[in-house]
Amino acid sequence: MYNAEYLPQIAAYVHAILHLGYPAGRVLFELPRFALQLDLAILDDSGRVVVLGEAKRGTAMLETLRVNVENRYTTAAPDMTTAKDEARQLAWRLWSVAPAYTWLIGPTHRAADRTSTSPLHLEATGDGRLPAAFERGLDREPPRGMLSPPRLVT
């Protein structure tokens, strides 16, 4: 089944590999349920999610999502037993994973934020772009080859 988020997601996957220099063995997209169904993830050698990518079918949705996450979930992870709107889901993923970067991905725009928790805060990188692989020390293939999706929930 076609999902409108797949095209920007795949484009970001290709951009991370071809233009930012992340080896294909580190870049995963459309992860399984046990990996929180992340849209895109870039992993370090230990399998930790360094970049969490969230794709949307419309670019305008990205800033609204970012603002809602920061306005509603800065002090604690959301309770996922209640309704699961997009901001709640992204905040839960960010609190659960604690990536170094969040990459908000749309059809015509990709914005990178340094990410911290306690409190949850997204801070735009200086130029709004995701750092290249060499800047993060992730420009070589993982020692064990293609990394598997990390088990983020039990």
| Neighbour count for residue 68 (Cβ, 10 Å) | 16
Mean pLDDT of the chain: 91
pLDDT tens per residue, range 56-94: 988 888 989 999 999 999 998 888 877 678 999 999 999
Q: Classify residue 149: in a domain, yes or no.
A: no
Q: How confident is the model at residue 139 (pLDDT cuts 50, 70, 90)?
A: very high
Q: Classify residue 24: in a domain, yes or no.
A: yes
CA atoms of 62 and 127, how far apart (whole Å) = 17
* pLDDT exceeds 60 at position 1: no
Report the share of the chain in percent with pLDDT over 70. 97
pLDDT tens per residue, range 11-23: 999 999 999 999 9
| Residue-level pLDDT at 154 | 59
| Residue-level pLDDT at 142 | 93
Q: Classify residue 141: in a domain, yes or no.
A: no
Q: Classify residue 143: in a domain, yes or no.
A: no
Count of domains observed in the chain: 1
Angle (deg, nearest 10), helices 60-72 and 86-97: 70
5: which residues sit within 8 A by CB, 6+ positions away? Answer: 39, 55, 56, 57
| Residue-level pLDDT at 33 | 92
| Residue-level pLDDT at 144 | 83
pTM for the model: 0.93
Q: Classify residue 122: in a domain, yes or no.
A: yes
Q: Classify residue 148: in a domain, yes or no.
A: no
Q: Classify residue 1: in a domain, yes or no.
A: no
Owning domain of residue 23? 6-136
* pLDDT exceeds 60 at position 40: yes
| Residue-level pLDDT at 153 | 81
Higher-scoring residue by pLDDT: 84, 117 = 117
Q: Classify residue 51: in a domain, yes or no.
A: yes
